[in-house]
Structure 1
Amino acid sequence: MDEFAECLANVVRALSLDVAAETESDEREVSVSRVRTAVRNACRQGLKVSGESFDALVRAAVHNPGPSFNRVFLKPARNALERGRVQVAPPLRWPRCAVTE
């Protein structure tokens, strides 16, 4: 099992998603699509994300080979953060990079 498939399995387990089991004839894209659809549907139904679920969602986004679909995993993770914690956090200080010509 590759790393992204393992991440998807963790998302399904952590969020208790009802995802149809893979069959031998399923292509990988079909399985990934089922998990993405299940996450979207759970969000529409008011998904509550725990700490374990947050970690699973972020890991799935990081290991997702299709970066245009990262938002499916990141949006519920981001929404799970307490708004107050995010607003009170000090701003990040990024080191300035020198531009050379």
Structure 2
Amino acid sequence: MAEDGTVEEVRELLPLPERPQGGKGVLRRNLRELIRLLGIEVPPESETGKWSHVAGHALREAFIRRSGGLSEDFFEPLIGAAVYEPDPSFNRWFVEPAINAFGRRRVRVELLTFLRTGTDRERAGSARAWYWTGLPLRHQKLRAGTLAEEMDDGADEALDVVTAWREASLREFVGNENLDVRRCILPGLRLDPESYPPEVRALVDTAVAIARSHPDEYIRHRVEIQVHQ
């Protein structure tokens, strides 16, 4: 109910549509590397039709149980798995240990690089993974030898990277017509012009106009939810 006593319209969020097929080879390569680094056993790929999810779940459990830190060798396959995992729920399994081991700032910088310079699949994947970078640092044992003061939640917020991400994602949404990229960026896109530097604020109206007139139902639906929040 609104403050004036009127009943507000209930808006139910549509689920993010399934992503285009492809990229499974890159995802599985990163999963196999993480399995090797952890030294765990996972059923062979030939024994299950959803091996990536089976492997991801096994990796998640292994990271939770792990009592030692993670070496530098873990960073690239963790980020690669997070970016190429098509399910926006399962990619948390890789973002979370990466943040805890290597710090929020480094993970965000790497995802920002994917957004700016990656393929469209990597740009969309970085947007899905970015959602989880606000997680608290829960698994202290995973840290990779970083000084405690550098890993502190407050000191490690990487606000300059957040500002850069907002601007880059706004520009990408406006300038990149790829459907998957726009679908994945929009849920995290701030549509308040005051959230941006003066020189890019006009792009917010452009982004809203693009979304409202877009042929994709999800994008049209999602933008109306966000502009009324």
Q: What is the TM-score of this pair, normalised by structure 2?
A: 0.37
1:49 equivalent in structure 2: 70
Counterparts in 2 of 1:16-27, with a 5 A limit? 16-23=39-46, 25-27=47-49
Which has more radius of gyration?
2
2:35 equivalent in structure 1: 12
2:101 equivalent in structure 1: 80
Aligned partners of 2:72, 2:98: CA distance in 1, in Å?
A: 9
Shift of 1:89: 7.8
1:34 equivalent in structure 2: 54
**8 Å CA contact retained: 2:82, 2:92:** yes
Q: CA RMSD in A?
A: 2.5
Paired AA for residue 37 in structure 2: A
Higher relative contact order (CA 8 A, sep 6+): 1
Percent identity reads 26
Query: Structure 1, residues 43-101: CA drift from partner, whole Å, max 9, x if none?
Result: 22135321111221111001112222110011111111235334268641535222254
Aligned residue pairs, count: 98
Q: What is the TM-score of this pair, normalised by structure 1?
A: 0.75
2:88 equivalent in structure 1: 67
- Structure 2 residue runs of 5 or longer lacking an equivalent are 1-23, 103-145, 168-196, 206-229
Paired AA for residue 41 in structure 2: D
Paired AA for residue 150 in structure 2: R
Paired AA for residue 39 in structure 2: S
C-alpha spacing 1:45/1:88, structure 2 compared with 1 (3 Å):
closer
**8 Å CA contact retained: 1:15, 1:49:** no
